[in-house]
Amino acid sequence: MKKNIVTIDTEIKVIIGLGNPEKRFENTRHNIGFRIVDAIADRHYGSWSEQKNMLVSSISINGHNLTLVKPLTYMNSSGAVMPHFAKKGIKAENVLVVHDELEKKFGTLSFKVGGSHRGHNGLRSLISIIGPDFARLRFGIARPQDKQDVGNYVLRNFSSEEQALLEEKIDHACDMIDQLFVD
């Protein structure tokens, strides 16, 4: 397997996983951001605590101290966590957002810095608060055949075929994040 060596030219201090907080959304496509930051927390011995409208976990990857975040505001209001971090001097360029991506095949992973929300309401909310210039780890969930069904599709659980590959894909996402912090 080819290793993805990635560089992002800014200092990441906060990693935000996008998702919805209720148990009924736990295994949906829209919650892949939560699942990936959960896996990063597990990998680096983080534990979650509730602060205002979010769950946070402090971890260290290769000596880089990071804060993992799961907004408890639901997807459409994910940006509501940012004023808390702005008070601590965190800017858009210090943020990595992990989210589902309709425009990529299932399990495809890629980094991107900046850009539009492309209809993703969690990204739209963040962009409205801090602008578009943050890093993103995009996890492909593929677009449904019926484009009118996007709202329902993202809130459905992964198919059994996808589920069989999901842990491997999440592990790969964690590897990619770890690579960002190799000196």
Look at residues 113, 109, 93 and name the one whose alpha carbon lies nearest to residue 101. Answer: 109
Q: Is 100 exposed, middle or buried (0-12, 13-18, 19+ CB in 10 A)?
A: buried
Q: DSSP letters of 30-93? A: GGHHHHHHHHHHHHTT---EEETTEEEEEEEETTEEEEEEEESS-GGGGGGGHHHHHTTT--GG
**How far is Cα 108 from Cα 89, in angstroms, rounded to an integer?**
32
**Which residue among the candidates 30, 44, 99, 120 is catalytic per the annotation?**
30
**How far is Cα 139 from Cα 32, in angstroms, rounded to an integer?**
7
89: left (phi over 0), alpha (psi -120 to 50) or beta: left
Is 84 assigned a catalytic role? no
Q: Is 28 helix (H, G, I), strand (E, B) or coil?
A: strand
User: Catalytic residue positions?
Assistant: 30
